[in-house]
Amino acid sequence: MSTPHINAEKGDFAKTVLMPGDPLRAKYIAENFLTDVRQVNEVRAMFGYTGKYKDKPVSVMASGMGMPSMGIYSYELYHFFDVDNIIRIGTAGAVSDRLALRDVVIAMSCATNSNFAAQYRLPGTFAPTADYGLIKLAEEKLKAIGKNVHIGTVFCSDTFYDDADSLKQWQKLGVLAIEMESVALYLNAARAGKKALCICTVSDCPLRNEECTAQERQTTFNDMIRTALECAADIESSFD
């Protein structure tokens, strides 16, 4: 069953989908980490692929930038293509002084300036959170390869270029990092009764004017890709 944004059929996606923001990053993952790969989506150049990692089925598809784009694609994957788990893999800017370049952040929960949750007409404020099982699995995988892992709250922003210098205010509340997709993913997962996780590598520290080189981004992103793939393979093995 194709949708306006995904030209695929049920069964084209694995139960677990990795979602980088960049379509070319999805293509890179498919070509360099998966076997028996086939392309399952190319609508609006939002590339999606399904293949195998360690003989286990796994899919990778781009989410685009920001919550509206992530909201569309994660909703359709959960509701129309029988996807159970989505793992966002991306980059984030450090907010906490405890974070350094190339550290990995697991978003346990999300603060936001978005109005995404208003659609549910809740009589209060919902706290978007990741699936604990996925958090624990990713933490184990990352520590096994010696990555410096931080688990906690991220700030998911609707704006990239922000007139207000708000990061220091979020820092006071213990926020680890800033990114732009986790809230839409976590809310869609909660509403669908599915699972989600956001893993981000620190690519810059805006409060300290530090940033990774292009080569450093590539190397550290590969560690995160392998971690997410290992998680996906373990999830699939649990069904054997």
Domain ranges of the chain: 16-237
Spell 54-74 as b/e; 16+ CB within 10 A means b.
eebbbbbbbbbebbebbbbbb
How many CB atoms within 10 Å of residue 7? 14
pLDDT, residue 194, reads 98
Instruction: List residues with catalytic annotation.
Output: 204
pLDDT at 162: 85
Give the CATH number of domain 16-237: 3.40.50.1580
CA distance 61 to 19: 5
**For each successive 10 residues of the chain (240 residues), what is the average pLDDT?**
92 97 94 97 96 98 98 98 97 96 96 97 97 97 93 97 88 98 98 98 94 79 93 87
Cα–Cα distance for residue pair 116/187, rounded to 1 Å: 8
Q: Is 61 helix (H, G, I), strand (E, B) or coil?
A: strand
Model pLDDT, residue 54? 97
